[in-house]
Amino acid sequence: MSFSFQVHRDLQFDHNKELLKIAEDNTPELLHTLKTDVYFVKCVKDSSKLGGCGIQPVDTDWTRSYGKGDTLVLDFGEHITGTFSIDMRSVGSPMDAPLYIGIKFCEMPCEIEEDSKNYDGWLSSSWFQEERIHKDVLPCTLQMERRYSFRYVRIDVLDTSPKWKVVFARPSADAISCAKDADIPEIEDKELKKIYTTGLHTLHECMQDVFEDGPKRDRRLWLGDLRLQALSNYASYKKIDIVKRCIALFCGMRCTDGRIPANVFVKPEYIPDDTFLYDYSLFLINTAYDYMQETNDIPFLNTIYSVLKEDMDACLQCVDDTGRFHMQENFPVFVDWSNTFDKEVCGSAITIYALRQLIVLGKQCSQDVEHYECVLHLMEEEVRNHLYDADKHVVRCYTGEVNLATQVWMVLSSTFTEEENHAIMQEAMHRFFPVEGIATPYMYHHITEALFVSGWKEEAIALMKSYWGKMIDLGGDTFFEAFDPNLPDYSPYGSTMINSYCHAWSCTPVYLIYKYVL
Determine the 3-state secondary structure of 505 from DSSP.
helix
Calculate mean pLDDT across residues 248-274.
Answer: 96
Question: What are the angstrom distances between the C-alpha of 412 and each of 245, 354, 436?
Answer: 27, 11, 20
Task: Look up residue 470 and give its amino acid.
Answer: K
How far is Cα 251 from Cα 15, in angstroms, rounded to an integer? 9
What pLDDT is stored for residue 1 in this prediction? 38
SS (H, E, C) 416-461: CCHHHHHHHHHHHHHHHCCCCCCCCHHHHHHHHHHHHHCCCHHHHH
| Confidence band for 246, pLDDT divided at 50, 70 and 90 | very high
Q: Which helix (H) or strand (E) holds 250?
A: helix 240-251
**What DSSP state is assigned to residue 41?**
E
How far is Cα 500 from Cα 149, in angstroms, rounded to an integer? 9
Positive or negative, the Cα torsion across 180, 186, 187, 190?
Answer: positive
Question: What are the angstrom distances between the C-alpha of 435 and each of 208, 313, 404, 505?
Answer: 33, 35, 9, 19
Calculate mean pLDDT across residues 196-224.
Answer: 97
Determine the 3-state secondary structure of 247 from DSSP.
helix
How far is Cα 169 from Cα 187, in angstroms, rounded to an integer? 40
Positive or negative, the Cα torsion across 221, 226, 232, 233?
Answer: positive
Angle at CA of residue 306, ends 305 and 308, nearest 5°:
60
Tens of pLDDT along 155-186?
Answer: 999 999 999 999 999 999 999 999 998 889 99
Tens of pLDDT along 435-477?
Answer: 998 989 999 999 999 999 999 999 999 999 999 999 999 999 9
Beta-bridge partner residues of 425: none
Q: Is the peptide bond before 434 cis (omega within 30 degrees of 0)?
A: yes
Residue among 67, 58, 143, 154 at smallest CA distance from 105:
154
Q: Is the peptide bond before 268 cis (omega within 30 degrees of 0)?
A: yes
**What DSSP state is assigned to residue 344?**
H
SS (H, E, C) 354-412: HHHHHHHHHHHCCCCCHHHHHHHHHHHHHHHHHCEECCCCEECCCCCCCCHHHHHHHHH
pLDDT at 6 over 90: no
Angle at CA of residue 266, ends 263 and 268, nearest 5°:
130
What pLDDT is stored for residue 73 in this prediction? 98
What pLDDT is stored for residue 67 in this prediction? 98
Question: What are the angstrom distances between the C-alpha of 463 and each of 434, 470, 517?
Answer: 9, 10, 13
What pLDDT is stored for residue 4 in this prediction? 65
Q: What is the dihedral of CA 149, 155, 156, 159, to 10 degrees?
A: 120
**What count of other Cβ atoms lies within 10 Å of the Cβ of residue 284?**
25
What pLDDT is stored for residue 2 in this prediction? 44
pLDDT at 192 over 80: yes
Q: List all residues 6 or more positions away from 27 whose beta carbon is below 8 Å from its beta carbon.
A: 209, 241, 245
Burial 370-384 (b: 16+ CB within 10 A, else e): eebeebbebbbebbe
Question: What are the angstrom distances between the C-alpha of 324 and each of 321, 339, 352, 372, 385?
Answer: 7, 21, 11, 14, 11
Rg (CA), the chain: 25
Q: What percent of the chain has pLDDT over 90?
A: 95
What is the chain's mean pLDDT, rounded?
96
Residue among 339, 330, 322 at smallest CA distance from 443:
339
How far is Cα 500 from Cα 77, in angstroms, rounded to an integer? 18
Tens of pLDDT along 113-124?
Answer: 999 999 999 999
pLDDT at 361 over 80: yes
Task: Look up residue 414 and give its amino acid.
Answer: S
Determine the 3-state secondary structure of 69 from DSSP.
coil
Q: Is residue 197 packed enough to be buried (19+ CB in 10 Å), middle (13-18) or exposed (0-12)?
A: middle
pLDDT at 8 over 80: no
pLDDT at 3 over 80: no
Calculate mean pLDDT across residues 41-51.
Answer: 97
